[in-house]
Structure 1
Amino acid sequence: MTGASDLTSGGRKAPEFMQDGDGHRARIGLIFMASSVVMEAEMWAMAPQGVSVHTTRIKLPKVTVEGIQAMMDAPELEQAARLLASAPLDVLCFGGTSASFLHGTAYDKALIARMKDWAPGLAINTASTASLAGLAAVGAGPVVLATPYVDEVHARAIRFLEENGHKVLASDNLRIDEDQALAEVPLEKVFDMVCEMDHPEAEAVFISCTNFRTAGVIDALEKELGKPVVSAVQSSFWHALRLAGVEDDCPGYGQLFRQPLPGAVA
């Protein structure tokens, strides 16, 4: 016998619909680099049912200090934030790690303040702020650091982590300065890179860069190394979910997703 809840208002049997990516639980806006492809794909791969991702892009001339600075100084950054803020979003994420840690913690905080002016009413995060929150959530002190950056940008990543209490015990970088080349690094190389540089006293691994594939390798690394792995994309998405009030675990993408948002960082 068909129950009343199985019938439409017209008396027909209620149809079964396919999932369509609707963000009825949370809609996350993302400002991302025009030449990049990784972060959106990894966010969708990790996304719980009912969470959607909506992107506007800005141009990154080159993955160097000068190229990143040119992107951050261009008017397109404000335009992107205002465009995204016209949609019914819950969170606005700036998806550039090196771009938000480029000049240290104060610069990252100033960027968030600017984004709040451009997108009033939305919760705001950056990849750098989210990375620190992720490391705090897993209880990390000293870390090892893997990046694909050129030496100067890599050095600034170390400085950013250490000025926020995370001594970098070991690190490695691939010295890539072309954005599209970042996304071409295979997961096998990321896995080997991290395993080879791990330090026994490091309490977590941090993998920086939002156009560097990481989501698919996190679970394998945690099993191999026996410690939490936090990446820029993974932590940005976790942080955005928590800001939106979504507390889901995302199985297979790291123990970070089993952690609440640290109140001191939110």
Structure 2
Amino acid sequence: MNAGSQTVATGAHRAPVFRFDGNGDLGRIGLIFMASSVVMEAEMWAMAAPGVSVHTTRIKLPKVTVEGIEAMMNAPQLEEAARLLASAPIDVLCFGGTSASFLHGTAYDHGLMKKLTEWAPGKKVNTASTASLAALAEVAAGPVVLATPYVDGVHQRAIRFLEENDHKVLSHKNLGIDEDQALAEVPLETIFDMVCEIDTPEATAVFISCTNFRSAGVIQALEEELGKPVISAVQASFWHCLEIAGINGAKPGYGRLFDKRLAERT
């Protein structure tokens, strides 16, 4: 019997009705996320159709600066987190740090992917940066505009990462935030206005970077306002997890990125 199914009379008794309990019977996503962060898990659950579950292991991020991110990535806790998470029956392991995976360029992100594969044998893996490039390719993006909450040093590395992967950044803006919890406190209205301010007609897509920066809730509104695809690091990570695991498990309303899979369900 499916969760939430109607009660069926069986003689003098009624069959029990079970409620949806969040079980990942379609698929399970394992997420490595920053200990002080809150956005990515919530947004993944918001985008997930019933039957897709998210399971997290956390690592410590000292500060959202180049030095703080490097300290996190060089700590032994990263490998430990991946191995612990891989011990669960997950379908895909996602490293949920955009700046942490693009910090030293594309080759560094590829190296991180290789390490995750070694630490989580038998699991499909991705990073927020790998997923973001795949999502931009999915919507046939070329030149983009970029919105981030980062300090200048991290923001400039985001521009470099995009441009070395053939996405010229035509316009951009960053908020200069270096405290992780403060990233999550930026309201959706501010993010919406920020993106509208920097958009240009020549840009083929918008990219919103940072997995502790709210984005899922504004994607549809921005696409309607600007008439072009909007890709965020969290949305892209969730989409790519579903893609590589072969799971058709997204709710509607979170951007053109999901259109192909949603159409297959109708």
TM range (shorter): over 0.9
What whole-Å deviation, never above 9, does each CA across 1:110-162 have from its counterpart, x for those lacking one?
A: 10100111000000000000000000000100000000000010000000000
Query: Distance between the aligned counterparts of 1:143 and 1:259, measured in 2?
Result: 21
Partners of 2:52 and 2:15 lie apart in 1 by 24
Three-state SS of the structure 1 residue aligned to 2:190 is: helix
Task: List alignment gaps of at least 5 residues for structure 2.
Answer: 1-6, 262-266
Distance 1:200 1:62 in 2: 35
Cα distance in structure 1, aligned partners of 2:249 and 2:131: 17
Amino acid corresponding to residue 40 of structure 2 in structure 1 = M
- Structure 1: how far apart are the matches of 2:181 and 2:249? 32
SS in 1 for 2:213: coil
Aligned to 1:36: 37
Which whole-Å deviations, capped at 9, do the CAs of 1:153-193 have from their partners, x for residues lacking one?
00000000000010000000000000000000000000000
Task: Report the Cα distance in structure 1 between the residues aligned to 2:249 and 2:54, rounded to whole angstroms.
Answer: 16
Give per-residue Cα distances to partners, 1:32-59, cap 9 Å, x unaligned: 0000000000000111110000000000
* CA distance in structure 2 between the aligned counterparts of 1:30 and 1:121, rounded to whole angstroms: 16
Aligned to 1:226: 227
Greater Cα shift, 246-255 or 20-29: 246-255
Partner of 2:67: 66
When structure 1 is superposed on structure 2, of 161-170 and 245-254 the one drifting more is 245-254
Residue aligning to 1:25: 26
**In the alignment, is the contact (CA less than 8 A) between 1:64 and 1:177 conserved in 2?**
yes
1:238 aligns with 239
What's the offset of the Cα at 1:249?
A: 4.6
Q: Please report how far the alpha carbon of residue 15 of structure 1 lies from its aligned counterpart in structure 2 after TM superposition.
A: 1.6
Runs of 4+ displaced beyond 2 Å: 5-8, 10-14, 247-250
**CA deviation profile, 1:187-239 (whole Å, cap 9, x unmatched):** 00000000001011000000000000000000000000000000000000000
Letter in 2 for 1:246: I
What is the TM-score when the length of structure 1 is the normalising length?
Answer: 0.93
Correspondence for 2:130: 129
Q: Quick one: distance in 1 between partners of 2:41 and 2:198?
A: 28
SS at 1:169 equivalent: strand
Other-structure match for 2:180:
179
CA distance in structure 2 between the partners assigned to 1:179 and 1:198 by the alignment: 26
Q: Whole-Å Cα distance in 2 between the matches of residues 24 and 97 of structure 1?
A: 28
CA 1:11–1:86: 2 relative to 1, 3 Å: farther
Query: Do the aligned partners of residues 7 and 123 (structure 1) sit closer, same or farther apart at CA in structure 2, a change above 3 Å counting?
Result: farther
Q: Could you tell me which amino acid in structure 2 is paired with residue 122 of structure 1?
A: K
Alpha-carbon distance in structure 1 between the residues aligned to 2:208 and 2:34 = 18
Gaps of 5+ in 1: 261-266
Provide the residue aligned with 1:113 in structure 2: 114
After TM superposition, the structure 1 = structure 2 runs for residues 1-266 of structure 1, keeping only pairs within 5 Å, are 6=8, 12-259=13-260
Secondary structure in 2 matching 1:205: strand
* Structure 1 CA distance for aligned equivalents of residues 9 and 71 of structure 2: 58
Distance 2:204 2:222 in 1: 13
Alpha-carbon distance, 1:242 to partner: 1.2
Q: In the alignment, residue 66 of structure 1 is paired with which amino acid?
A: E
Q: Distance in 2 between matches of 1:27 and 1:171?
A: 35
Residue type matched to 1:172 in 2?
A: K
Equivalent position of 1:263 in the other structure: none
User: What is the identity, as a one-letter code, of the residue corresponding to 2:61?
Assistant: L
SS for the counterpart of 2:178 is coil
Length-normalised TM-score, structure 2: 0.93
Q: Percent identity?
A: 75
Pair 1:11–1:57, CA change in 2 (3 A) = farther
